Amino acid sequence: MAEVADVRELKKLIEELSKKRCQANGTCLVSIYRPARGNIKDLMELISREIATANMIKDKNVRKNVQRALTSIQARLKHYSKIPENGLIIFAGVTQSGKLEMYIIEPPEPLTVKMYRCDVTFYLDPLKNFILPKEKYGILLVERGEATFALLSGSRLEVLKEITSHVPGKFRAGGQSAQRFERSREILAHQFMEKVGRLAEKYFLQDNEVDGIIVGGPGPTKEEFMEKNYLRPELKKKVIAVVDTAYGGYIGAKEAIMRAQDKLKDVRYVKERALVQEFLDHLAREDGYALYGVKPVIKALEEGIVDKVLVSEKIDLTRVRFKCPQCGHEERRIMKNDEIVKVEMGHKDVKCPECGSSMVIEEKEDFISYLEKIAEEYGTKVEIISAENEEGYMLIRSFGGIAAILREKRYL
């Protein structure tokens, strides 16, 4: 049956699928998207037609691989009486590993795309739409000399555009020349503000349908910009805060978000930043409430003294169950994924502590799922920190990808 994937699982799957390539020198990886309004009979007929069409492929290896993928899909579809309520996504083909691989997914939300594609890679664009953040906020920093347009989307802050004006500084001399200069200066400033308004329309209305806009800047220009209606009415009504910032650019955009964080409490970027900062504050105070590292955090989890676990979505770990084929001894280890690959390929040997024989991998478990199981037992929150911002990068670089905030002082 299809696996219903949540956003985190989809991110991992997309990353994995994006590395797959057709084994043969041709197009042999099949991607199928079917919304719920379709039916299994039509899909089976499509597969049958594509199997027949594949007979005309000249390259023997490509033909064989395409037909093998399609017949495997056909066999799996016989277990379905109807398309699942959110639709069905199927990827199948003989990859560079030489093995036939198949992934059948029921998306977390209704699928609207209907398509069949056979290519050198899997077609992932419609699947990627399910992991895109739903809420987007525009950040506009404006002063007479420059403007910054940024987008806050989920855990990601991105500067879209930075522009500078040709408005000269103030003219200090008096007389008519000064008056003419000042009029010219005001005209140039007006034209620049109009340009800022047009670009705001492009970035926050046409290219991105934002849910709100934060306007900021270091001086009074931002208030003037708002009062003189350089923003279109449909954008102006989306302005949720006008804040002071000391800088422009990326640093200024971060500052604007922090100054407007009371309006953005549910935005993932703000939540993640606050969580990591809470951990860092405890760590700096050395008050015994902060902990990091895989073994210490798991030990504290199992003791039920953890309030929150902060784990990077990019943590490169898996929980593995080993079994000795000789004496039956079993043990579980948490290993880096590249080490697991070495074991599976025979480049690394894991010895049984009982009889010294080489153990084999019997089962693999996603590390974050393993944490969530323990956490659920003790009412602990597991907070997954994106790797797309500084906080997530710091968690990986400095703390091994995992940290905890404790309920009680136990690790002074």
Beta carbons of 231 and 149 less than 8 angstroms apart: no
Burial of 239 (0-12, 13-18, 19+ CB in 10 A): middle
DSSP, collapsed to helix, strand or coil, labels residue 328 as coil
What does the alpha-carbon distance between residue 232 and residue 68 come to, in Å, rounded to a whole number?
56
Q: Give the count of beta carbons closer than 10 Å to the beta carbon of residue 380.
A: 21
What does the alpha-carbon distance between residue 341 and residue 356 come to, in Å, rounded to a whole number?
21
Identify the bridge partners of residue 370 per DSSP, sorted by sequence position.
none
What does the alpha-carbon distance between residue 235 and residue 205 come to, in Å, rounded to a whole number?
7
CA-wise closest residue to 109 among 83, 140, 79, 131: 131
What does the alpha-carbon distance between residue 64 and residue 79 come to, in Å, rounded to a whole number?
24
Residue 131, Cα to own-chain centre: how many angstroms? Answer: 6
Which domains are seen in the chain, by residue range?
Answer: 3-131 (3.30.960.10), 136-265 (3.30.420.60), 267-412 (3.30.1330.30)
CA-wise closest residue to 30 among 54, 11, 55: 54
Encode burial over 324-363: b for 16+ CB neighbours within 10 A, e otherwise. beeeeeeeeeebeeebbeebeeeeeebebeeeeeebebee
Beta carbons of 130 and 109 less than 8 angstroms apart: yes
What does the alpha-carbon distance between residue 118 and residue 236 come to, in Å, rounded to a whole number?
46
> Is the sign of the CA dihedral 216, 219, 223, 229 positive or negative?
negative
> Own/partner pairs for 147-152, CB < 8 Å, 24+ apart?
147/192, 147/196, 147/199, 147/248, 148/248, 148/249, 148/250, 148/252, 148/253, 149/199, 149/200, 149/203, 149/204, 150/250, 150/253, 151/203, 151/208, 151/210, 152/253, 152/257, 152/264, 152/267, 152/269
Beta carbons of 217 and 143 less than 8 angstroms apart: yes
The tokens for 371 are 């944490």
CA dihedral 202, 203, 205, 209 (to 10 degrees): 150
pTM over 0.95: no
Each residue's pLDDT, cut to its tens digit, for the chain (412 residues) gives 445 456 778 888 898 899 899 886 778 999 999 998 878 999 999 999 999 999 998 888 899 999 999 999 999 999 888 999 899 999 999 998 889 999 999 988 888 889 999 999 999 999 988 887 778 999 999 998 899 999 998 888 999 999 998 766 655 555 556 677 677 778 888 899 999 999 999 999 998 889 999 999 988 999 999 999 899 999 999 999 999 999 999 999 999 999 999 888 778 888 888 999 999 999 999 999 999 999 999 999 999 999 999 999 889 899 999 999 999 999 999 999 899 989 988 889 999 999 999 999 999 988 998 999 999 999 999 998 987 778 888 898 999 999 999 998 864 4
Interaxial angle between packed helices 367-378 and 294-302, expressed in degrees from 0 to 180 and rounded to the nearest 10: 30
Beta carbons of 385 and 392 less than 8 angstroms apart: yes
Range list of β-strands (E), 87-155: 88-94, 100-106, 115-119, 136-142, 146-153
Identify the bridge partners of residue 164 per DSSP, sorted by sequence position.
146
What pLDDT was estimated at residue 181?
63
Beta carbons of 171 and 246 less than 8 angstroms apart: no
